[in-house]
A and B are shown apart, each in its own frame.
Chain A
Amino acid sequence: MARTQLLETADEAVAGIEDGSTVLVGGFGLAGMPFDLIDALIRQGATDLTIVSNNAGNGEVGLAALLKAGRVRKVLCSFPRQSDSYVFDELYLAGRIELEVVPQGNLAERMRAAGAGIGAFYGPTAVGTSLAEGKESRVIDGREYLLEYPIRGDYALISAHHADRLGNLVYRKTARNFGPVMAAAASTTIVQVNGVVETGSLDPEAVVTPSIYVDRVVAVEERHYTVQGAR
């Protein structure tokens, strides 16, 4: 689809996500988490999903709510276990969800490879560890590497700060995290933003994700969630 669709509601934005899809979900903890799109996906009803995300949900909002609704078959993530990941923990310990742990940098680079048309790559992370089991390895210039395959999404659900009407995206601070790589790695990229601005009003030098990667955009109310301050 050439032109990015600007949609009125998050429900319209997630329409058509099929059962069994692989969905890349942005965010690092709560920063950059596309809450409204996930809530809409819960209402939409798609199930048997494979979710690729850095974490496996916090508290009972966002990804944790999707897990709690029983829609997720498998999670690929780097860091499921957190102080407030009890929804995932219970499902996992009950054997009701599959987990593939992927080192954080490999998670990012494997999605980057998918978006960049790379068939596979050799990376040094996890050599000699249990996460290397079953992977092809090769010594290049005296150093051992593991063969890593791309992670593609049928859909990406991400959050950005602003989009213009063409779908060019800018982010805010560390909420950028996985957004740009996921936008490129999915067949259909769906973005929630805090605001849509007129085309031409974003500085072209500052655009982080060009519109070519973006399929659907919806503006949402800025959500004020609580984060714990320093102790």
Chain B
Amino acid sequence: MTDLFHAGTAEDHPVETGTVEHLDRGPLTMDELAEVIARDIPEGSFLNLGIGQPTKIADHLPAELGVILHTENGMLGMGPAADGDQIDPDLTNAGKVPVTELPGASYFHHADSFAMMRGGHLDVCVLGAYQVAANGDLANWHTGKPDAIPAVGGAMDLAIGAKDVLVMMTLFGKDGTPKLVRSCSYPLTGVGCVSRVYTDHGIFEVGGESVVVRATWGISVADLEERLGMPLATVA
């Protein structure tokens, strides 16, 4: 499993090894991807995990890392999902799933919860996405289909609020269409807000002059360029 982590890229662990192609295996599972992302969360961060796949990241954060989870419905210090007798209808996460509280937890109302986001106090958030563009534009709230019911929740506030916005997604849709694109065709959630995209096939830095691929799994950089239809820079 250690080869999953050649691409550890937290600011306090700078990568000096260049882009790593892992060609001896297939793409990452979502659990493995969650583990890779967890390794990149800086020690002591205040972290918000989006609904869906990103919640898996919490399972891979060692307690000694001191990461404090924020949930936008009004809590810092959120613990794991509740089970059995622990279930309390008054204590849920943003996905309305019952959760637990850790020692040192705090509760606050919604305006405060989003003020701490918008005010730049939240270090990192990890969101799912329909599409991310090379310039860091994010589309994750609305398919834009005429019969779709729009529902934004806190996605737009998180996208512009957290200091570092990471995306966790599969690189290709079920029909094989790339989700990392030159420009988003889905309605935008935020403009130029994403810094890094973690996918089953690779990790990409976006928002700069070119998209930089830090690591790949089960596919070469050259093949990725072809499937994504865009040039990729590698880590020097």
In the bound complex, CA of A85 to CA of B25 (Å): 42
Encode contact with A along B61-100: 1 for CB under 8 Å, 0 otherwise.
0000000000111110000011110011111100011100
Total A-B pairs, Cβ < 8 A = 163
Contact B160 A127 (CB under 8 A): yes
User: B161 — which chain A residues lie within 8 A by C-beta?
Assistant: 105, 124-125
Cβ contacts A39-51/B at 8 Å (1 or 0 each): 0000000000000
Say yes or no for B42: interface residue by CB 8 A criterion. no
Could you give, for residues 14-30 of chain A, a 1 whenever the CB lies within 8 Å of some chain B CB and a 0 otherwise?
Answer: 00000000000000111
Q: What residues of chain A lie closer than 8 Å to B96, measured between beta carbons? A: 28-31, 82, 227
Given A104-B157, A106-B157, A227-B89, A129-B188 contact (CB < 8 Å): yes
Chain A nearest CB from B34 CB (Å) reads 15
Q: 8 Å CB contacts to B: which residues of A95-142?
A: 99, 101-109, 111-112, 123-131
Does B150 sit at the interface, judged by CB under 8 A?
yes
A-side contacts of B142, CB under 8 Å: 130
Evaluate contact between B90 and A131: CB separation under 8 angstroms. Answer: no
Tell me whether B154 and A93 are in contact (CB under 8 A). Answer: no
- Could you tell me if B90 and A175 are in contact, using CB atoms closer than 8 angstroms? yes
**A99, A172, A173 interface centre (most CB from chain B within 10 Å):** A173
The answer to whether B92 and A181 have CB atoms under 8 Å apart is no
The interface on chain B, measured as residues whose beta carbon lies within 8 A of the other chain's beta carbons, has a size of: 47
Counting CB contacts under 8 A, is A179 at the interface?
A: yes
- B113: interface (CB < 8 Å): yes
Contact: A174 with B107, CB < 8 Å? yes
Q: Which one of B2-10, B114-122, B173-181 is at the A interface?
A: B114-122
Size of chain A's interface in residues, with CB distance under 8 A?
Answer: 54
Q: Determine if A108 and B111 form an interchain contact, defined as CB atoms under 8 angstroms apart.
A: yes
Are the C-beta atoms of B82 and A125 separated by less than 8 Å?
no
Q: Is A174 touching B91 in the complex (CB atoms < 8 A)?
A: yes
B97–A128 contact, CB under 8 A?
no
Give per-residue flags for A166-197: 1 if the beta carbon is below 8 A from chain B beta carbons, else 0: 00000111111111110000000000000000
Give Cα A181 to B118, complex, Å. Answer: 17
Interface segment among A4-12, A73-81, A212-220: the answer is: A73-81
Bound-state CA distance A181–B108 (Å) is: 11
Q: How far is the CA of A30 from the CA of B95 in the complex (A)?
A: 11
Q: List the B side residues contacting A127 at CB < 8 Å.
A: 160, 190-191
- Between-chain CB contacts (< 8 Å), 12 pairs: A28-B110, A31-B90, A31-B91, A79-B151, A93-B149, A105-B118, A105-B156, A127-B160, A130-B187, A173-B91, A173-B101, A175-B90
